[in-house]
Amino acid sequence: MLRVLATVGVLLVLSVFTIGCDSTQPIGAGPVTYEVQMSAVNVIGFLGGQGIRSYRVWEMYEDNDNNGQPDDIDMDGVPDLFNFCRDLLASDTSHVNPTSVPWSYTVEISVIPAGTTGEVIVSSPAGLTDDPLINLSRYDNSSRPLVLGTSQPTVMIDDGGMMRTFRFRDPLKLSQAHTRVARSTSNPLSDFDPMTYGLGNGLCSAIDPGPTVVDGQENFLVDLSPGDTIIVRARRGAGAPMGIETNGREANLSGTLSQDGLTVSVIGSASSDAVTGAGFSFSFTAR
Amino acid sequence: MPKLTGYALLTLMIVFFVVGSAFAQEAEGDDDGSLFKYIAEIEIWVAQPTGLDYSPATVFDATNPFFEVYQRPTHGTSESFRYAGGLEFRRDAGALMLSYLEHRDEDVLLGESSPGNYIFTTSMASPLLAGLNDDGLADGYDSQFDTTLRDLRINYKRAAFETNRVNGSWWVGVRRVAHRRIANASYYAIVDGLPPLIPPLVTFPRPDLDPRPDVVDTASRYSGRGLEMGMEFETAMLKSKKLKLRASVGMAFLRGKVRSEYTSISHAFTFQDPLTGVTTVMEPPYDLFGEIIQVSAGGALGPAVDFIDQITVVDSFLDEKRSLSGSVIDTEVSLNYQIHKTVEFYGGFRGSSYSNVGIESRREVAQIGNQLLSSIASEEQSAEYEGFFGGVRFHF
């Protein structure tokens, strides 16, 4: 019996040294939201008249019935608002602060799920032809009267020989009025005189040239699980945005990736040269 | 007249020796009416292969170029069946046994990725044009390994000595071993970092320019045969002698041939100059992808990417019928319990080491001056299997 016990004991000791167990700890963390911030902005000081031609735009309306509300000129049931544009280069630059001008760009965001090698596009390239990202919000937040010499709340505009009176909407807040780069390719008052009101000072098109971009930035939210890789590819527009005339100065395109407001370090380049058509790409793998 | 091989002659010699031995003892008396009993065994061996030395990649430390960590797959245990049958001759005349074992270690996977970090070396790939940047580095890889062992044994075993505490026996025989190693690997450029091919540079996507992975397929098929011999020791654990402890050690020397196959597929970008029509292989960092160039003699401009293509480069070779001498060492310890005069259960631990039963071939390229010298490097491979086994043995 002693030999049996000794043998069993030896075998047990051998088992300890020969039996192993491999295990892989499961990934327990859930997805985390990351924010991609794209920016294609050129800060222009307008010093010496150099810079980008852009426009400050005010909203105005007709109030022929003097009820204090915009009239429905085209009888479509919706009160009509028009834009009044002012060419910044023609304005008194001493009143104009350095401004940011957004640039058109294409961005493609894709994610490679953890453990795979294939990309899943989560944001298709922003089209440059259909929806150029050239909107911007206020470029000047200083409080200033309307730039027509006086702070008059109305303006007379010649519409093919007929003078029409427009009121500025809430003139006390003109300085807070949003500014657009207007695409004045048509006369908003008359289809028969399309070129009268092109780009320049005066009544301009109310056409919204694209999606709203606050301060020239576009934000994308992407949920990443541990091990997921996000790839951001971006390329500047082929030319200047419509409504903007460059004078040899162009914007560079840049992007940042952040989590809870903190910028994370990425692999690759996150900004482009200030050259037409330049691009960049960067990636980040969530841990 | 059929040709008699050396092994057939050896088998015949063993048979004559056994039968002759049995007849000789039969002449001495103590006959129970038959010359032998049949033995049949079926056994399951849960073995884990080690020492296969598959290594699809190393991890490259960019901060210390002289420090690399080999990545190797983990081979788990897999069960295999061993079948044996033979004759046990009367009056301690020995036993003639034939056994067959097949162990499959298949679909062993190893893959890693660190998108954008090119830290994995393309160890198995042909060095020429390996990796997106032709530097033999990838940011991810997948690999798969299949290993198969087939072991056929014919041996004769007979008692050598007997004492009060332990009995000893020896065996000799022939052995045929087939060992197959198949390794595949794919090396990726998951995040290529190339200039983005999106509008306005290109109007339509160019998936044909997504870097394709480098793919490597290798195979080694070994077949060898040779003599084996060994010793077994047995001691009774109970007075009834129903429970016995057995330990054995054996070795075999194999003479065989191995066939190795190697195929490595890499890729390269080419640029056809629109003005001259000359096509060249592009070199990293591929800035041309994002550039606007003159595309016609008239001065028209266009994206250079319109003249870029991705080509496939195949490096393949076959090494057939290469001689390779191998060896096998077996060690085993087991407990055997005879619950009936015809039935015996047994179980224990076995380790088998197969040396030089495969080769791993890879392409090597050396640069001397402006000359690239290509060669094939081969390395003998071994395999060890160890694990617990259990089975049942019938005597009838």
Q: What is the DSSP string of B195-226?
A: PP--TTT-SS--GGGSPPPEEEEEEEEEEEEE
Q: Whole-angstrom Cα distance, residue B59 to residue B312? A: 26
Contact status of B285 with chain A (Cβ, < 8 Å) = no
Report pLDDT digits (tens) over A278-287: 889 999 999 8
Calculate mean pLDDT across residues B180-196: 94
Please indicate whether, in this complex, the C-beta atoms of A22 and B76 are within 8 angstroms of each other.
Answer: yes
Report the mean per-residue pLDDT for chain A. 64
Calculate mean pLDDT across residues A212-232: 74
More confident residue, A104 or B388: B388
Using the predicted structure, report yes or no on whether residue B7 has a pLDDT greater than 60: no
DSSP B13: H
Using the predicted structure, report yes or no on whether residue A6 has a pLDDT greater than 60: no
Q: Residues, chain A, total?
A: 287
Least confident of A86-100, B199-213, B304-318: A86-100
Q: Whole-angstrom Cα distance, residue B182 to residue A7? A: 40
Would you state the pLDDT for residue A80? 83
Report pLDDT digits (tens) over B256-302: 999 999 999 999 999 999 999 999 999 999 989 989 899 998 889 99
Contact status of B247 with chain A (Cβ, < 8 Å) = no
Calculate mean pLDDT across residues B144-158: 96
Cβ of A80: how many Cβ atoms within 10 Å? Answer: 16
Q: How far from B164 is each of B91, B169, B247, B315, CA to CA, in Å?
A: 19, 15, 17, 65
Would you state the pLDDT for residue A215? 41
Three-state SS at B17 = helix
Q: How far from A82 is each of A60, A74, A179, B293, CA to CA, in Å?
A: 5, 12, 13, 44
Using the predicted structure, report yes or no on whether residue A211 has a pLDDT greater than 50: no
Calculate mean pLDDT across residues B348-374: 88
Q: Whole-angstrom Cα distance, residue A153 to residue A61? A: 11
Q: Which of A18, A233, A284 sits opposite B349 (nearest CB)?
A: A18
CB B345 within 8 A of CB B336: yes
Shortest Cα–Cα distance, B33 to chain A (Å): 36
- Percentage of residues in chain A with pLDDT exceeding 90? 13
Highest mean predicted confidence (pLDDT) among A126-130, B5-9, B314-318: B314-318
Shortest Cα–Cα distance, B128 to chain A (Å): 23
pLDDT band of A51, cuts 50, 70, 90: very low
- Percentage of residues in chain B with pLDDT exceeding 90? 68
- Neighbour-count burial of B172, counting CB atoms closer than 10 A to its CB (0-12 exposed, 13-18 middle, 19+ buried): middle
Cis peptide before A171 (omega within 30 of 0): no
Report residue B283 CA to chain centroid gap. 37
Q: Whole-angstrom Cα distance, residue A147 to residue A95? A: 9
Q: Whole-angstrom Cα distance, residue A87 to residue A201? A: 5
CB B344 within 8 A of CB B334: no
Shortest Cα–Cα distance, B205 to chain A (Å): 10
Shortest Cα–Cα distance, B201 to chain A (Å): 7
Using the predicted structure, report yes or no on whether residue A120 has a pLDDT greater than 70: yes
Would you state the pLDDT for residue A58? 66
Shortest Cα–Cα distance, A15 to chain B (Å): 9
Residues of A in contact with B386 (CB under 8 A): 18
Least confident of B60-64, B186-190, B213-217: B60-64
pLDDT band of A127, cuts 50, 70, 90: very low
Least confident of B27-31, B191-195, B377-381: B27-31
Q: Whole-angstrom Cα distance, residue A206 to residue A81? A: 8
Using the predicted structure, report yes or no on whether residue B245 has a pLDDT greater than 60: yes
Q: Whole-angstrom Cα distance, residue A108 to residue B194? A: 14
Least confident of A182-191, A251-260, B71-80, B135-144: A182-191
Residues of B in contact with A279 (CB under 8 A): 195-196, 198, 201, 290
Would you state the pLDDT for residue B202? 84
Q: Are strands B292-294 and B371-395 parallel, antiparallel or unpaired?
A: unpaired
Report the mean per-residue pLDDT for chain B. 88
Q: Which of B116, B142, B198 sits opposite A267 (nearest CB)?
A: B116
Q: How far from B185 is each of A229, B138, B140, CA to CA, in Å?
A: 22, 12, 11
CB B166 within 8 A of CB B233: yes
Calculate mean pLDDT across residues A228-248: 72
Q: How many helices (H) and strands (E) does chain B have?
A: 1, 17
Would you state the pLDDT for residue A170? 56
Would you state the pLDDT for residue A187? 42
Using the predicted structure, report yes or no on whether residue A21 has a pLDDT greater than 50: no
Please indicate whether, in this complex, the C-beta atoms of B201 and A11 are within 8 angstroms of each other.
Answer: no
Would you state the pLDDT for residue A207? 47
Residues of A in contact with B285 (CB under 8 A): none
Shortest Cα–Cα distance, B194 to chain A (Å): 8
Place of tokens 């047994």: B346
pLDDT band of A239, cuts 50, 70, 90: low
Would you state the pLDDT for residue A172? 40
Please indicate whether, in this complex, the C-beta atoms of B191 and A268 are within 8 angstroms of each other.
Answer: yes
Query: Measured in Å, how far apart are chain B's first and last C-alpha atoms?
Result: 37
More confident residue, A255 or B92: A255
More confident residue, A132 or B64: B64
Least confident of A161-175, B27-41, B218-232, B328-342: A161-175
**Dihedral sign from CA coordinates of B221, B225, B226, B228:** positive
Please indicate whether, in this complex, the C-beta atoms of B238 and A4 are within 8 angstroms of each other.
Answer: yes
**The Cα angle at residue B221 between residues B217 and B227, in degrees rounded to 5:** 160
Would you state the pLDDT for residue B172? 97
Least confident of A29-38, A188-197, B185-194: A188-197
Shortest Cα–Cα distance, B195 to chain A (Å): 6
pLDDT band of A20, cuts 50, 70, 90: very low
Would you state the pLDDT for residue B64? 77
Query: Measured in Å, how far apart are chain A's first and last C-alpha atoms?
Result: 58
Highest mean predicted confidence (pLDDT) among B35-39, B219-223, B371-375: B219-223
Three-state SS letters, chain A: CHHHHHHHHHHHHHHHHHCCCCCCCCCCCCCEEEEEEEEEEEEECCHHHCCCECEEEEEEECCCCCCCCCCCCCCCCCCCCEEEEEEHHHCCHHHCCCEEEECCEEEEEEEECCCCCCCEEEECCCCCCCCCCCCCCCCCCCCCCCCCCCCCCEEEEEECCEEEEEEECCHHHHHHCCCCCCCCCCCCCCCCCCCCCCCCCEEECCCCCCCCCECCEEEEEEEECCCCEEEEEEEECCCCCCCCECCCCCCEEEEEEEECCEECCCEECCECCCCCCCEEEEEEECC
CB A108 within 8 A of CB A124: yes
Least confident of A92-106, A119-133, B81-95, B246-260: A119-133
pTM, full prediction: 0.75
pLDDT band of B217, cuts 50, 70, 90: very high
Q: Whole-angstrom Cα distance, residue A195 to residue A192? A: 9
Q: Whole-angstrom Cα distance, residue A111 to residue A152? A: 54
Q: State which H helix or E strand residue B239 sits in.
A: none
Please indicate whether, in this complex, the C-beta atoms of A277 and B198 are within 8 angstroms of each other.
Answer: no
Calculate mean pLDDT across residues B172-199: 94
Using the predicted structure, report yes or no on whether residue A248 has a pLDDT greater than 90: no
**Interface residues from chain A to B (CB-CB < 8 Å):** 3-4, 7, 11, 14, 18, 22, 106, 108, 112, 115, 117, 125, 127-128, 229, 231, 233-235, 237-238, 267-268, 277-281, 283-285
Calculate mean pLDDT across residues B65-83: 89
Using the predicted structure, report yes or no on whether residue A129 has a pLDDT greater than 60: no
More confident residue, A68 or A182: A68
Using the predicted structure, report yes or no on whether residue A138 has a pLDDT greater than 90: no
Q: Whole-angstrom Cα distance, residue A50 to residue A42? A: 13
Q: Whole-angstrom Cα distance, residue A1 to residue B261? A: 57
Please indicate whether, in this complex, the C-beta atoms of B113 and A18 are within 8 angstroms of each other.
Answer: no
CB A212 within 8 A of CB A135: yes
Interface probe, candidates B48, B118, B142, B190, chain A, greatest A C-beta count within 10 A: B190
- Tell me the count of A-B CB pairs closer than 8 A: 90
Using the predicted structure, report yes or no on whether residue B17 has a pLDDT greater than 60: no
Please indicate whether, in this complex, the C-beta atoms of B193 and A11 are within 8 angstroms of each other.
Answer: no
Would you state the pLDDT for residue A139? 30
pLDDT band of A94, cuts 50, 70, 90: very low
Please indicate whether, in this complex, the C-beta atoms of A106 and B117 are within 8 angstroms of each other.
Answer: no
Please indicate whether, in this complex, the C-beta atoms of B290 and A279 are within 8 angstroms of each other.
Answer: yes
Q: Residues, chain B, total?
A: 396
Calculate mean pLDDT across residues A142-169: 61
pLDDT band of A256, cuts 50, 70, 90: very high
Least confident of A82-91, A217-226, B113-122: A82-91
Q: Whole-angstrom Cα distance, residue B363 to residue A149? A: 81
